């Protein structure tokens, strides 16, 4: 399949997807009313150069970033965070309260040991990243003053403090890793990569209940047409399969 080379994909005025490894790993940027930028996720260790190029594509500089939010503390999302903190000059990152210990130590959350692969991963140091200070702790339901309001939804399972986000004014949902859309096909994240796969499946149901127009993913391209119906269809099918 073709890998997107675009440094940035516009989802709405002031809302941009920043592909950091083709469409396989995405960051997001929200431009606030005062021109400052809120960045969501920092990709792998090498991603910051891509993120900076993405910001430049809509006329922004790392110094414009005033907040960095991480959906969760895995190395494909937090791997570039320490570097981005340095480049932007922010004091640290913003994460859900249950993700704080992992971000502060740079250790990945525990893996689901109910699968053989997960049990194996759990024994080896895997997925660590350079630590960052946490400047703000998030809770379920928080509404951040980001370009018209960014709602925090705690969707634990992939990791204990995993979050999804909904931008209220544009109706854009960012699922985080609760649902993947790799190769434009919705799937669950790999079991072995989750802290509790079962909990991921349960908590993702909320993504079928809220209202939005566009579904955006940290892994894979966005869905612009009938996004909510597509997500609901995926969740319904997954529930019918009993997992
Ligand atoms: Zn991921």
Task: Please write the tens of the pLDDT for every residue from 95-127.
Answer: 999 999 999 999 999 988 776 666 666 555 556
Percent of the chain clearing pLDDT 70 (strictly above): 91
Sheet holding 93-96, edge to edge: 9-12, 15-19, 26-31, 37-40, 65-69, 93-96, 134-138
Please tell me the distance between residue 69's alpha carbon and the centre of ligand 1 in angstroms.
14
Please tell me the distance between residue 177's alpha carbon and the centre of ligand 1 in angstroms.
5
Which pLDDT band holds residue 183 (cuts at 50, 70, 90)?
confident
Please tell me the distance between residue 77's alpha carbon and the centre of ligand 1 in angstroms.
6
Please tell me the distance between residue 34's alpha carbon and the centre of ligand 1 in angstroms.
30
The pLDDT value recorded for residue 184 is: 84
Q: Is the pLDDT of residue 77 over 70?
A: yes
Q: Which CATH architecture has domain 9-240?
A: 4-Layer Sandwich (3.60)
Between CA 236 and CA 228 the distance in angstroms is 12
The pLDDT value recorded for residue 124 is: 56
Please tell me the distance between residue 25's alpha carbon and the centre of ligand 1 in angstroms.
7
**CB-based neighbours (< 5 A) of ligand 1, an ion:** 76, 177
Strand 163-167 to 150-154 pairing: antiparallel
Paired tokens of 12: 């709405």
The reported pTM is: 0.94
């Amino acid at each position: 399949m073709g890998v997107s080379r675009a440094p940035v994909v516009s989802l709405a005025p002031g809302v941009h997807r920043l592909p950091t490894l083709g469409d396989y790993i995405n960051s997001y940027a929200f431009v606030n009313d005062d021109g400052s930028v809120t960045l969501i996720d920092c990709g792998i260790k090498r991603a910051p150069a891509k993120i900076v190029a993405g910001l430049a594509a809509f006329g922004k500089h790392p110094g414009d970033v005033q907040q960095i939010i991480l959906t969760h503390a895995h190395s494909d999302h937090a791997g570039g965070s320490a570097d981005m903190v340095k480049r932007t000059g922010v004091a640290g990152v913003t994460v859900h309260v249950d993700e704080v210990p992992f971000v502060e130590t740079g250790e990945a959350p525990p893996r689901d040991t109910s699968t053989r692969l997960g049990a194996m991963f759990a024994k080896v140091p895997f997925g660590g990243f350079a630590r960052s200070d946490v400047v703000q702790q998030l809770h379920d339901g928080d509404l951040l003053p980001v370009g018209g309001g960014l709602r925090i939804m705690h969707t634990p399972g992939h990791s204990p403090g995993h979050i999804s986000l909904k931008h209220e004014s544009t109706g854009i949902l960012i699922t985080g890793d609760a649902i993947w859309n790799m190769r434009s096909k919705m799937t669950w994240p790999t079991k072995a990569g989750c802290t509790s796969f079962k909990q991921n499946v349960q908590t993702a149901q909320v993504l079928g209940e809220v209202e939005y127009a566009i579904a955006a993913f940290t892994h894979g391209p966005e869905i612009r047409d009938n996004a909510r119906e597509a997500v609901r269809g995926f969740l319904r099918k997954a529930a019918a399969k009993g997992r």
